[in-house]
Amino acid sequence: MGSPALAVEPDGDLIAQYLAGEERAATELVRRHAAALARYIAAQGAPDDELEDLTQETMFKAFRALGTFRGGASFRTWLLAIGGNVLRDRRRQWRRSRVVELTPDIRDPSGDPGAHAEAGWAAERLEEGVGKLARLQREVFLMRAQQGLGYDEIASGLGISEGAARVHYHHAVKRLKAWIS
């Protein structure tokens, strides 16, 4: 007989353990959710050089407010909503203190230039399109398409109705298709 599979502790149990003083629980929550949080923040348009800092700041704020987490949404959805807020705050700071980069971007010349150009064009158009979406459309689209969250989780995390989440997603997809074609 093989050994039994290890049971995965639910996020709610880990949260309770962390609130009771177990640091191991926090480490596990970060391990589970940091990569998805970073992908979400990056897809929201965060610069690569700010991504780690934004992810850490989001985790810091989330753990400071963990006592207020009521479980209406999943921990990940709650964390993504905090990440969106952290990025919006940081954007306001960036607008107040603009820095102009003096060195040009240098692209990697390796690989198939034709395939890179085509894939790059599509990715750029999609990224541009996502950036032009209204805030709620962008957040709903990324939570659904990138994170695979259900409409109920999205609605709970963003404080909107499930129907509104569906409508925002539908409009986002429609606008992105029009933008890319």
Q: What is the CATH number of the domain that holds 163?
A: 1.10.10.10
- Please check the confidence at residue 100 and state whether its pLDDT lies above 70: no
Residue 125 lies in a domain: no
37, part of any domain: yes
* 63 closest CA partner among 92, 86, 91: 86
pTM for the model:
0.60
Q: Is residue 179 part of a domain?
A: yes
Residue 150 and residue 86 share a domain = no
Domain boundary among 99, 122, 146: 99
The pair of structure tokens assigned to 19 is 């609130």
Q: Which domain holds residue 144?
A: 131-181
- CB of 38 within 8 A of CB of 29? no
Contacts of 28 (CB under 8 A, 6+ apart): 9, 14
Select the more confidently predicted residue: 29 or 123: 29
Structure tokens at 77: 């959805």
Looking at the structure of the chain, the number of domains it has is 2
36 vs 1, higher pLDDT: 36
The pLDDT assigned to 116 comes to 61
At 112-152, the pLDDT tens digits run 666 666 666 767 777 888 888 888 889 889 888 888 888 88
